[in-house]
Amino acid sequence: MKRSFNLAMILALCATATFSQDSNELNSTARARIEQARASIVVVKALDESNKTISQGLGFFIRKDLIVTDSEIVDRNSQRHVTAATKAGTLKVISSGNYFLPYVLVETQPDVSPLSLADSERLAANDSVYMLSDSGEITAGKITGTTTIKNTQAFLISLPINSDNKGAPIFNRYGEVIGIAAKSPDGQSAGLAWPSELLATLKHLGEPGVGVGRGDGPQFHVGPAPTNTDTPSPTPAVVSRPVRLSSPPPRYTEEARANNVSGTVMLRVQVDVDGNVNAVRVVSGLPYGLTEKAIDVARGTKFKPAMKDGKPVAVWIGLEINFNLR
């Protein structure tokens, strides 16, 4: 019989950590970071009109007002109920939705410490990863490979991901977050982790020029963050969006051409007040050097900058670089 997901889960998160034998690689600093992460983990429920739970999972703070969680929680037409693991009561939910990853925007929590994100691009197969189990242990697993889902790369991990722990943070051996736990598409017990690059992108939700969606539509997506009618936008909207003036053509590598690789590299770029790209973050890439080629294209792209109150402003926007063999 499937174990119910209730107060016991919260109590386990608050309990003093015990460590599985597989977590011996962790030093005291890494263990302390993972232990402290418990205070930033929440339980997220989707409720129907009669307050009956439709689905539930975990989530965690990546900003003092922003929780990343599992897609099944926010993809339903329902209410959100967020409970912190280390204090009584529920958090006031402002809005929820998807911006590269599912999120719940809540009232700012001054006493919460958002979790530290690591660079998931440095990870490789057989690297150790860790998560907090529902029994209060730190369990260890391995990265077994990668998979691409809807143009986004995720890590395959040996840790079992189920309805109780989906949405939990996944840590590296330094106790830093390298991704968020998700169930594998085939429904098997072993799961996957969406990388921390997506979490870093989500952290910009509400900033000028940051809108909603994965960037699968128009090449450049700029707009205000979603809020309900009773809550003002966290930041002022940009009056005009950046306009692309010129861009170098994307170039194939010999390895990518030989392996018939095609697809889209999704980036987030910061366009400065002079219309230059001065920062690039990879949301999802392609193998055989195409991600690096896409970054070169982004760096060489020139924009008319975004304008607010008659003055140019720096903004982050989504940028897709397409590679198609002809």
Tens digit of each residue's pLDDT (9 = 90 or more) over 198-240? 888 788 777 544 444 433 332 323 333 333 333 333 333 445 7
* Same-domain check for residues 217 and 281: yes
Residue 30 pLDDT > 60, yes or no? Answer: yes
Same domain, 256 and 208: yes
Q: CB under 8 Å to 158, separation ≥6 — which residues?
A: 141, 142, 143, 144, 190
Question: Would the pLDDT of 131 be above 90?
Answer: yes
Phi-psi region of 206 (alpha: psi -120 to 50; beta: other; left: phi over 0): left
pLDDT band at 140 (very low <50, low <70, confident <90, very high): very high
Higher pLDDT among residues 86 and 305, named by residue:
305
Separation CA 289–CA 270 (nearest Å)? 22
Check whether residue 183 and residue 281 sit in a common domain. Answer: no
What's the Cα-to-Cα distance from 228 to each of 17, 90, 106, 140, 237, rounded to whole Å? 38, 19, 12, 40, 15
Other Cβ atoms within 10 Å of 262 Cβ, number = 15
Contacts for 285 with CB less than 8 Å, ≥ 6 apart: 153, 265, 291, 294
pLDDT band at residue 197 under the 50/70/90 scheme: confident
Chain mean pLDDT for the chain: 77
- Amino acid 19: pLDDT: 40
Looking at the fold, whether 51 and 151 belong to one and the same domain comes out as no
CA distances from 249 to 131, 166, 187, 284, 292 (A): 42, 40, 40, 19, 13
Residues 32 and 62 grouped into a single domain: yes
Domain presence at residue 312: yes
Q: Is residue 71 part of a domain?
A: yes
Instruction: Please indicate, yes or no, if residue 2 is contained in any of the structural domains.
Output: no
Q: Give the domain-ending residue among 37, 71, 106.
A: 106
Same-domain pairing of 216 and 282? yes
Residue 171 or residue 99, greater confidence: 171
CA 312, chain centre distance (Å): 29
| Domain annotation covers residue 199 | no
**Domain assignment present for 115:** no
When pLDDT is averaged across residues 122-127 and rounded to a whole number, the result is 84
What's residue 49's pLDDT?
80
pLDDT value of position 31: 92
Is the pLDDT assigned to residue 39 strictly greater than 80?
Answer: yes
Give the H or E element holding residue 26: none
Statement to judge: residues 219 and 312 lie in one domain? yes
- Say which residue, 80 or 314, is predicted with more confidence: 314
Of the listed ranges 38-52, 102-116, 201-215, the one predicted with least confidence? 201-215
Note whether 68 and 129 are same-domain residues: no
111 inside domain: no
Query: Which of 72, 106, 140 finishes a domain?
Result: 106
The larger pLDDT score, comparing residue 76 to residue 8, is at 76
Question: What CATH number corresponds to the domain at position 131?
Answer: 2.40.10.10
Specify the pLDDT at position 265: 86
Does any domain span residue 254? yes
CB 296 within 8 A of CB 184: no
Whether residue 35 is found in the same domain as residue 68: yes
Give the chain's domain count: 3
pLDDT tops 60 at residue 175:
yes
Strand partners, 79: 47
The dihedral sign for the CA sequence 280, 281, 286, 288: positive
The residue among 228, 260, 265, 267 whose CA lies nearest residue 107 is: 228
| DSSP states of 207-218 | STT--SS-S-SS
Q: Return the pLDDT at 158.
A: 92
What single-letter DSSP state applies at residue 298? Answer: H
Structure tokens that stand for 172 in this block: 């590296």
Tokens of 195: 């990388």
pLDDT in tens, 244-282: 899 898 999 998 899 888 888 888 888 999 999 988 888
DSSP per-residue codes, 144-201: EEEEEETTEEEEEEEEE--TTTTT-EEE-TTS-EEEEEEE-TT--SEEEEEEHHHHHH
Q: Classify strands 18-19 and 137-149 as parallel, antiparallel or unpaired.
A: parallel
User: Is a pLDDT exceeding 80 seen at residue 34?
Assistant: yes
Chosen domain end from 170, 194, 218: 194
Pairing verdict, β 169-171 and 177-183: antiparallel
Q: Which domain holds residue 209?
A: 204-323
* Rounded Cα distance, 225 and 104, in Å: 12
pLDDT attached to residue 277: 93
Give the CATH number of the domain where residue 312 resides. 3.30.2420.10
**C-alpha closest to that of 296 among 254, 265, 275:** 265
What percent of the chain shows pLDDT beyond 90? Answer: 25
Q: What pLDDT band is residue 106 in, cutting at 50, 70 and 90? A: very high
Which of the four pLDDT bands, split at 50, 70 and 90, describes residue 4?
A: very low
pLDDT mean over 163-167: 86
Say if residue 189 is in the same domain as residue 231: no
Give the tens place of pLDDT for each residue, 64-76: 999 999 876 666 5
CB 306 within 8 A of CB 241: yes
For residues 2 and 208, give the distance between their C-alpha atoms in angstroms, rounded to a whole number: 45
Same domain, 53 and 139: no
Residues 138, 209, single domain; the answer is no
Residue 287 reports pLDDT greater than 50: yes
- Whether residue 99 lies inside any domain: the answer is yes
What's the confidence (pLDDT) of residue 288? 87
**Distance between CA atoms of residues 271 and 244, nearest Å:** 10
